[in-house]
Chains A and B, each alone.
Chain A
Amino acid sequence: MNAGTNFRSIVANPRSGPPQGCVRRPRAATFRCVAMFRLQGSKVLAVDMTGDAVKAKNGSMVAYDGQMAFKKLTGGGEGLRGMVTRRLTGEQMTVMEVRGQGTCWFADRAAEINLVRLQGEKLFVESSNLLATDAGLRTGTTFTGLRGASQGNGLFTTTVEGHGQAAIMSDGPAVVLRVSAQYPLIVDPGAYIAHQGNLRQTFQSGVTFRTFLGEGGGEAFQIRFEGDGLVYVQPSERNTFAGDV
């Protein structure tokens, strides 16, 4: 990740020095503590908290030490408007807020977990692939167009925005691919899990009359990413409508 994340080096001695979760916020004059995300193995997310909060997928806590309070957030913690939007768009997300002191471990169905550090960019991710975010990150929904329809995930996707860390899940470790001006990337809709940065996505279809003869290329629907950013793909394909043609 270009953001120069150094959470791994912190993992080596988690109990040393001042609270590592503290970062200097550009606009705030004081130090503010944010939750520290780290991976324990590749399928368990450990979050060190010092009185602050994270939003996590409902029921994904597997263990904690210290003092924790779990509160279900109605409508993904996005207020009444978010609640209505999510209901309307079908991009349902049941989220809980975890607040406390200590370490909380999260995991979901042995899915691989990938950490993403956001510095003001927007992360687009399917709500089913989002495990946890910093409480300071804003989440919302956005229209994705035909891509969503082709992967059976609906026409909308979840966005995560702000400064902080998020954890996304994938079936098998995700491969992070960079998209730049001279290198556009084409992704199978079933393998796509998330993207971040300034990317344009177009949906391309290779459906020809041969598809109907059963001689299709097997990759009839593809998403093309152009611009500048990162795309996360998983080494597995969800069952999609497009997978059969």
Chain B
Amino acid sequence: MNAWGPPGAGPVVHDPMTLPADDNVNSYTFCVELKGSQWFLQKGKMIAYYGAIEFNGVGHGRLDRLVRTSFHSPLHASDWVVAEGSGKMLLADRAFDVNSYDLDDGNLTIRSGNLLAFQPSLALKQSIVPGFLTLIGTGKFVAASNGPVVFMEPPIRVDPQALVGWADCPSPCHHYDHGYLTGVMGGLRAMTGLGGASREEHQFEFVGAGTVLLQSSESLMAEQASGALPQEPGVPGGAGVSGSRGQQAGAPRLPGQLGDLQRRFGL
């Protein structure tokens, strides 16, 4: 779709009649139609609206029950807003590509910074993977990406920066190229870049049935707080974890970190 419309017509002028209902206006703007219904949005992603729409923080008075039904965790609810009323509302995020996705009794895990808005029929939960959120149920959600999103089938290994999310049940795990990262020479190579480091030695690997969503660039979107983690042992990324190795499970291990070298040398 083109903001300028067909050649010769000049820019397209939209009014409430011509704006699409729950569809993209152009690649960067999404229009949501509200008919007395509700949508959840991340704070500050609304750019304009027609009609009577009210924005309230989640947890506001009578909306408190939404935290129970759709958020399940009060930990990150303060970053979300409920839009309620009737009219048409435009959503956009820092001129990134936006797209809507339909979930039909499914589940999808997405990087927290990429999720813009979703219908209350979906439940939003924190993923076990730190920095990711999981949507469960039936409904529509809107996500942003840097460049259009491509869908891939596992088994697949993807670049960590290009990963947007995954649906259904592939199992995400880290993968390292062994030839590059083992042995003294490998460690030196990864640490110093001498002898050639392609900087692609580390990937995410997905196996199992499902779909993996990738964006067509490697620039990450700013991470949105996905809620503090409970201070409990056994929670990945939580402060309760104090690994005996001193390696935080949440922080991705940088190739060539001193801890790795020490282990390689058996120290």
Kindly state the separation between the CA atoms of A10 and B49 in the bound complex, as whole angstroms: 35
Cβ contact of B44, chosen from A171, A184, A206, A218, cutoff 8 A = A218
Measured between beta carbons, the chain B residues less than 8 angstroms from A4 are 10
Contact of A188 among B7, B47, B56, B57 (CB under 8 A): B47
Digitize B83-109: 1 where CB-to-A-CB distance is under 8 Å, 0 elsewhere: 000000010111100100000000000
Q: Mark B51-91, 1 if CB is under 8 A from A, else 0.
A: 00111111110000000000000000010010000000010
- Partner of B4 from the list A8, A215, A235, A237 (CB cut-off 8 Å) is A8
Contact string against A for B residues 13-32, beta-carbon threshold 8 Å, 1 for contact and 0 otherwise? 11110000000011011000
Taking the complex as formed, is B50 at the interface, i.e. its CB lies under 8 A from any CB of chain A?
Answer: yes
Q: Which residues of A contact B47 (CB under 8 A)?
A: 175, 187-188, 190-191, 233-235, 237
Return the chain B residue nearest A187 by Cβ.
Answer: B48
B83 → A minimal CB distance (Å): 9
A123-164 toward B: CB 8 Å interface, digit per residue (1/0)? Answer: 000000000000000000000000000000000000000000
Which A186-245 residues have a C-beta within 8 angstroms of B? Answer: 186-188, 190-191, 206, 210, 214-219, 230-231, 233-237, 243
- Rounded to whole Å, the gap between the CB of A221 and the closest CB of chain B is 11
Give bound CA distance, A152 to B10, whole Å: 31
In the complex, the chain B residue whose C-beta lies closest to that of A184 is B50
Q: Does A69 contact B (CB under 8 A)?
A: no
- For A186, the chain B residues whose CB sits under 8 A away are 48-50, 53
Name the residue on B nearest A180 (C-beta): B15
Given contacts A114-B11, A172-B28, contact A185 B46 (CB under 8 A): no
A177–B11 touching, CB < 8 Å: no
Q: What distance in Å separates the Cβ of A86 from its nearest Cβ neighbour in chain B?
A: 28
Q: Report the minimal beta-carbon distance from A241 to chain B, rounded to whole angstroms.
A: 12
Check B4 against A5 for contact (C-beta < 8 Å): no
Q: Decide if A1 touches B13 in the complex (CB within 8 Å).
A: yes
- Encode contact with A along B194-219: 1 for CB under 8 Å, 0 otherwise: 00000000000000000000000000
Is B267 among interface residues, defined by CB-CB distance under 8 A?
Answer: no
In the bound complex, residues from chain A placing their C-beta under 8 Å from that of B45 are: 237
B54: nearest chain-A partner, CB-CB: A217
Question: Whole-angstrom distance between the alpha carbons of A177 and B28 in the complex?
Answer: 15
Q: Is the CB of B9 within 8 A of A177?
A: no
B3 at the interface (CB under 8 A from A): yes
Find the A residue at minimum CB distance from B81: A218
Question: In whole Å, how far is B88's beta carbon from the nearest beta carbon of chain A?
Answer: 10
* Residues of A1-30 contacting chain B, CB below 8 A: 1-9, 11-12
In order of increasing CB-CB distance, the 3 nearest A-B pairs are A172-B95, A218-B43, A235-B92
**B residues within 8 Å of A by Cβ?**
3-4, 7-16, 25-26, 28-29, 41-50, 53-60, 78, 81, 90, 92-95, 98
Interface residues of A (CB under 8 A from B): 1-9, 11-12, 39, 42, 114-115, 117, 171-178, 180, 183-188, 190-191, 206, 210, 214-219, 230-231, 233-237, 243
